[in-house]
Structure 1
Amino acid sequence: MTADDRSGAEPGSALGSAFAPAKVNLALHVTGRRADGYHRLDSLVAFAAIGDTIEAIADPAATEPSLAIQGPFASGLAIEPDNLVLRAARVHAAAGGRIDGLALRLTKRLPVASGIGGGSADAAATLRLLGAISPLPDARASELAALAASLGADVPMCLLSTPARASGIGEILEPVPGLPALPMLLVNPGIAVSTPAVFKRLERANNPALPPIPSAFADSAAVAEWLRATRNDLEAPAIAALPPIADVIARVEAEPGCLLARMSGSGATVFGLFPDAASVDRAAARIRADHPAWWVVSTRTAAS
């Protein structure tokens, strides 16, 4: 439905929805720090088949959107003016889009403050959804990446939601065409992590950049082999702040077939790469049985 016919929608009817996939930092190198305090990064990111969903629902009387949050991690978010979904709606309006006549509903399936870009993905999905319902003027639509960046450094990459090399503070994006779909296990021990606190513990900010990324990978084993020459520079400071992260990495790494286990982003979510979906499913079942309080998901990333 477009802005031209939205006014005729029945109250409560669906106007559209957008998926907000989990962002996984397969590698994350901290390469410097700018004068303004932001850290320079060099990261390979991929996007999983698990994520949140944002929906728009007709509410003809509304002058601006309300927000409802549901799902297994709804309690971790407050509906406040600085919620990234509502901020994204305001950015859309400021760029010339309409946000009246609708309500927003977020289904929160990703843990909050977990290193897999949940809030940024939600903001990006909101921009995509509202852009489909009420397209921006052409001039502003061309600036969509800049509008996304105003919401946070990770939002532009989540707006694309395709494998990419992210540098600068995350806003410089280079597509990575040769990355295959990766069978993946995601595990979070139920601990929220403060990204600023992790960066504060970082002992060295001037680290080498990623090595050259191959133009193609044969399979997940080839990706894991290349990743062994990379790292997540935030893993050690995150473990120093929250030692249970090391236990999760060790538990995932011990699973038969695991090719690589590493923390994503600033944590505490850990990903494990596996050769196939069956081995991921078996690992997920065993870890859930041993740690029922942990969030454990069998998934895969999208191919380039």
Structure 2
Amino acid sequence: MHEAAPAKVNLALHLRRRREDGYHDLETIFAFTAFGDTLHAEPADTLTLRIDGEHAEAAGAGPDNLVIRAARALADAAGIHAGAELHLEKRIPVAAGLGGGSADAAATLRLLGRLWQLDWPATRLEALAAGLGADVPACVASQTCFGQGKGETLSRWPHDLAGTPILLVNPRVAVPTGPVFAGWDQADRGGIDAQAPLASLRNDMTPAACAIAPVIGEVLEALSRQPGTTLVRMSGSGATCLALFETVGARDTAAAALAPHGWWHAATTLL
């Protein structure tokens, strides 16, 4: 059995305040791409994880990997003692603002739910996912949605973006989320208006991320110069940036134009 783990992007991310528990209240637009990781599972007596792919070493297959943590959380919540032999094909860069670990955890919940014949509704998986990370509940559904709170309070996004061409670009720099949040200037610049054009919204983590890794600014500038873009933005806490395009041809032309930089990139579409 196998399950796709679509990469997550933030089309906008507005920080509102730092909470007493150390997290931040935020508003964000989650979207998901046809590009991502793939998780495979076979029945077994114990839980094991094997990872391969370009980013396998950075992900690590130890007990702290979110795939193992999600599997154990599901087994404990369901009160079962089944195992699984898990194999993750890791394509999403690590610490890249694409929610790779969260996507993998959500895919684990969906896949093992089927393997172990739990027949749990998505809402029950999302409730369990909240304990694994702020982005994991959104990744369970892997559909464009509006996130509030830490990102775990989800509601429908009223605009259909499925099929939109998107180019993901990462300058091969890992940016830890904690320092980026710590670098936020604490200014609440207002929430997200669902009726406002996407280009008028923002990612409030961009200045702090660029201060840590100035090359992010170079990527954003390079994407902004490409013909046919409708939105250019950093995703999450970086360092991956994204551009939405009017056509697949414009996206592919941009990918070819940026190739000489040697940056990692993926040309794909929104789900």
TM range (shorter): over 0.9
* 1:26 and 2:7 aligned: no
- Whole-Å separation in 2 of the counterparts to 1:95 and 1:169: 23
Retained in 2: the 8 A contact 1:33–1:205?
no
Deviation at 1:142, TM superposition (A): 5.4
Map 1:50-129 onto structure 2 (within 5 A). Answer: 50-59=35-44, 62=45, 64-96=46-78, 98=80, 100-129=82-111
Q: Report the equivalent of 2:206.
A: 235
Shifted more, 197-206 versus 42-51: the winner is 197-206
Shifted more, 141-150 versus 85-94: the winner is 141-150
Within the candidate set 185, 191, 205, 1:209 is matched to: 191
Q: Report the equivalent of 1:7.
A: none
Deviation at 1:32, TM superposition (A): 1.2
Retained in 1: the 8 A contact 2:82–2:116?
no
Retained in 1: the 8 A contact 2:122–2:141?
no
> Normalised by the size of structure 1, how large is the TM-score?
0.85
- Whole-Å separation in 2 of the counterparts to 1:93 and 1:180: 35
* Sequence identity (%): 47
Retained in 2: the 8 A contact 1:95–1:136?
no
Deviation at 1:228, TM superposition (A): 2.2
CA deviation map 1:105-128 (0-9, x unaligned): 000001000001000000000000
Distance 1:141 1:116, change over 3 A: closer
Retained in 2: the 8 A contact 1:29–1:210?
yes
Within the candidate set 174, 187, 198, 2:169 is matched to: 187
- Whole-Å separation in 2 of the counterparts to 1:177 and 1:97: 38
Q: Which runs of 5+ in 2 are unaligned?
A: none
Deviation at 1:84, TM superposition (A): 0.2
Distance 1:19 1:137, change over 3 A: closer
| Aligned residue pair count | 270
CA deviation map 1:87-136 (0-9, x unaligned): 00001101116463520000000100000100000000000000011133
Q: Which runs of 5+ in 1 are unaligned?
A: 1-15, 215-224
Map 1:1-304 onto structure 2 (within 5 A). Answer: 16-59=1-44, 62=45, 64-96=46-78, 98=80, 100-136=82-118, 143-181=124-162, 182-211=164-193, 213-214=194-195, 226-288=197-259, 290-292=260-262, 294-302=263-271
- Whole-Å separation in 2 of the counterparts to 1:188 and 1:131: 33
- Whole-Å separation in 2 of the counterparts to 1:141 and 1:20: 15
- Whole-Å separation in 2 of the counterparts to 1:150 and 1:97: 17
- Whole-Å separation in 1 of the counterparts to 2:184 and 2:135: 20
Q: Report the equivalent of 1:8.
A: none
User: Following superposition, which runs of at least 4 residues in structure 1 exceed 6 angstroms of deviation?
Assistant: none
> Normalised by the size of structure 2, how large is the TM-score?
0.95
CA deviation map 1:139-194 (0-9, x unaligned): x9753222100100100000010010000111110111422222111000000011
- Whole-Å separation in 1 of the counterparts to 2:39 and 2:240: 22
Looking at CA atoms only, which structure, 1 or 2, has the larger radius of gyration?
1
- Whole-Å separation in 1 of the counterparts to 2:67 and 2:242: 26
SS in 1 for 2:197: helix
Deviation at 1:227, TM superposition (A): 1.6
